[in-house]
Amino acid sequence: MFPASFEYHRAASVKEALAMLQQFGEEGKILAGGHSLIPLMKLRLAQPGHLVDIGGIRELASIREEGGRVVIGGLVTHRAVEASAVVQAKLAMLSECASLIGDVQVRNRGTIGGSLAHADPAADYPAAVLALEAEIKIEATAGSRAVKADEFFLDLMTTAVMPGELLTEVAFAPVPAGTGFSYLKHRQPASGFAMVGVAALVKLDKQGNCDRVRVGITGLGPKAFRAKAVEGALQGKAPAQATGAAAAHAAEGIDALSDLHASAEFRAELARVYTRRALETAAARAQA
């Protein structure tokens, strides 16, 4: 199918993009990598009157270290996240997550900002961003604000980005030395999306017990979430003895999605299985 008619605009700066969004109101949509928006437009599930292309804004396409954090611009592609030496050294789980997104074409075109702002319930990045406790910078004509990952994903394809705002950066504190990590997913074979995906971080104390545990889960419910019941069940305990019992809490309190690919019950079981596997892998890497 062909999309409905629209006007195309190319922004040269963040300021210009925000001005266009303010001018066009609800008729304006941001175009970054286009992997989410263009298919929706072709199906006429989205019919914006104006597309604001931000692909040429160079300031949004960099990875840098600033103030003790790793800052990734919203236009950085999945491939660039995967290949970045800084990300590999300080946020290895994010690099691992990026390497599993879609296929080569998607990774070379899709962007981290576009993926997060779209907030597909089966997207990979949200689980990792939650486990890494990132801060997401959102800009508007009136100024900017930083939103914690825990507060960013609101509902099905709904985030803290309001009309007229633009996601510009994602900032991460480097993962402490000695922390193990893992991102694992049950891959939907046609799309590559996660039927369930789990991001796990585990740091052990000198006795080999879990000193810090973070778990993000995607694909299970209408939005990605921190599995705090899992984290609490493993905190202070030896992974070998407690991982299975902790992973049993993975779907606790979640209204699991059901579709032609998987029932709610199957997704809940996938969440428990992949949470256990991700925690086991992270704990083993922490001990290495």
Q: What are 161-188's pLDDT values in tens digits?
A: 999 999 999 999 999 989 999 999 999 9
Residue 2 has pLDDT above 90, yes or no: no
Q: Is residue 103 part of a domain?
A: yes
Burial class (CB in 10 A: 0-12, 13-18, 19+), 105: exposed
Per-residue confidence at 191, pLDDT binned at 50, 70, 90?
A: confident
Q: Are residues 185 and 282 in the same domain?
A: yes
Q: Is residue 1 part of a domain?
A: no
Round the average pLDDT of the chain to a whole number and report it. Answer: 96
Q: Are residues 184 and 168 in the same domain?
A: no
Phi, psi dihedral angles at 158 (to 5 degrees): -130, 130
Per-residue confidence at 282, pLDDT binned at 50, 70, 90?
A: very high
What is the reported pLDDT for 193? 94
Range(s) of the domain holding residue 72: 59-172
Boundary (domain end) residue, out of 147, 172, 197: 172
Distance CA 174, CA 59 (A): 22
Number of domains observed in the structure of the chain: 3
Concatenating the DSSP letter of every residue in 166-196 gives EEEEEEEPPPPTTEEEEEEEEE-TTT--EEE
Residue 17 has pLDDT above 90, yes or no: yes
Q: Are residues 190 and 257 in the same domain?
A: yes
The CATH code of the domain that includes 15 is 3.30.43.10
- The residue whose two tokens read 């900032």 is 171
Q: Is residue 282 part of a domain?
A: yes
Q: Are residues 89 and 147 in the same domain?
A: yes
Q: Is residue 41 part of a domain?
A: yes
CA distances from residue 62 to 43, 76, 272 in whole angstroms, order as listed: 32, 6, 36
Q: Is residue 69 part of a domain?
A: yes
Q: Are residues 31 and 102 in the same domain?
A: no
* pLDDT tens figures, 87-134: 999 999 999 999 999 999 999 999 999 999 999 999 999 999 999 999
CA torsion 228→232→233→235, rounded to 10°? 130
What is the reported pLDDT for 1? 74
The CATH code of the domain that includes 246 is 3.30.390.50
Q: Is residue 2 part of a domain?
A: no
What tokens were used for 39? 């298919």
Q: Are residues 45 and 77 in the same domain?
A: no
Per-residue confidence at 280, pLDDT binned at 50, 70, 90?
A: very high
Distance CA 157, CA 143 (A): 24
20, 11 contact by CB (below 8 A) = yes
Q: Which residues pair with 202 in a beta bridge?
A: 180, 213
Boundary (domain end) residue, out of 126, 146, 172: 172
Q: Is residue 26 part of a domain?
A: yes
Average pLDDT for residues 231-244, to the nearest whole number? Answer: 97
The CATH code of the domain that includes 137 is 3.30.465.10
Q: Are residues 277 and 188 in the same domain?
A: yes
pTM: 0.95
